[in-house]
């Protein structure tokens, strides 16, 4: 089975570079209970502040301090997990219009929806439950801020991210993508009825 998953990831990775890209749409309704998911290690959850941007760029490969600062200034939230003061995991949430760079597409969210994106956990701490703990904190923060639903767009082959969000109650609700051949681009969005 691992070989099949590997071949599928290679196939869609190749097509993604050439012409065809798609993302699985996941949703988490915030009117449903948000249960605790504890990590195997004691972490402190918080929000990234402007003066902590260097911690972020140290953790996330290729991160640009200016881009991180601009996102914070625009009102986006970066939820952090720290172990003994060291930043080990981050995830972003935003409202309004989200640009999905992978598809070169703008996703318009309703006033009571937020989008979760940009999850990164230090490889040494993956599988320790840190990511779901951060997700629970983010979901509760957004629920308390009046949001009704959180959405996420994830590569279907990214099994680790899918496992992580599923642990905190996300469910698939559609797929979006694009097919680009030369100057022509076709976009699609398929969702299940609400």
CA distance 82 to 44: 5
Each residue's pLDDT tens digit, 86-101: 999 999 999 998 888 8
What pLDDT was estimated at residue 18? Answer: 59
Cβ atoms within 10 A of the Cβ of 109, count? 17
Q: How many domains does the chain have?
A: 1
Q: What is the distance of C-alpha 169 from the center of its chain?
A: 14
Whether 61 is in a domain gets the answer yes
Give the pTM.
0.84
Whether 189 is in a domain gets the answer no
What domain range is 36 assigned to? Answer: 23-175
Whether 194 is in a domain gets the answer no
Whether 93 is in a domain gets the answer yes
What pLDDT was estimated at residue 194? Answer: 56
Write the CATH number for 116.
3.40.630.30
Whether 80 is in a domain gets the answer yes
Whether 14 is in a domain gets the answer no
Least confident of 5-9, 105-109, 142-146: 5-9
Most confident of 4-8, 138-142, 183-187: 138-142
Whether 44 is in a domain gets the answer yes
CA distance 137 to 130: 11
Whether 42 is in a domain gets the answer yes
Backbone φ and ψ of 30, nearest 5°: -95, 0
Q: How confident is the model over 133-155, as a mean pLDDT?
A: 95
Each residue's pLDDT tens digit, 29-73: 999 999 988 767 889 999 999 999 999 999 999 999 999 999 999
């Amino acid at each position: 089975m691992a070989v099949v998953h590997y071949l599928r990831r290679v196939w869609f990775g190749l097509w993604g570079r050439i012409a065809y890209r798609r993302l699985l749409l996941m949703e988490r309704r915030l009117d449903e209970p948000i249960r605790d998911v504890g990590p195997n290690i004691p972490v402190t959850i918080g929000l990234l502040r402007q003066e902590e941007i260097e911690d972020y760029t140290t953790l996330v490969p290729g991160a640009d301090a200016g881009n991180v600062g601009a996102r914070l200034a625009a009102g986006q939230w970066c939820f952090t997990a720290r172990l003994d003061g060291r930043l080990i995991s981050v995830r972003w949430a935003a409202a309004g219009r989200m640009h999905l760079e992978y598809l070169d597409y703008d996703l318009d969210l309703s006033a009571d929806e937020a989008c979760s994106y940009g999850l990164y956990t230090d490889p040494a701490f993956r599988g320790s439950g840190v990511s779901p703990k951060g997700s629970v904190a983010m979901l509760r923060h957004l629920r308390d801020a009046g949001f009704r639903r959180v959405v996420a767009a994830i590569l279907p082959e990214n099994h680790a991210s899918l496992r992580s969000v599923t642990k905190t109650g996300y469910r698939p609700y559609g797929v979006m993508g694009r097919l680009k051949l030369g100057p022509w681009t076709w976009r699609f969005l398929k969702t299940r009825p609400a």
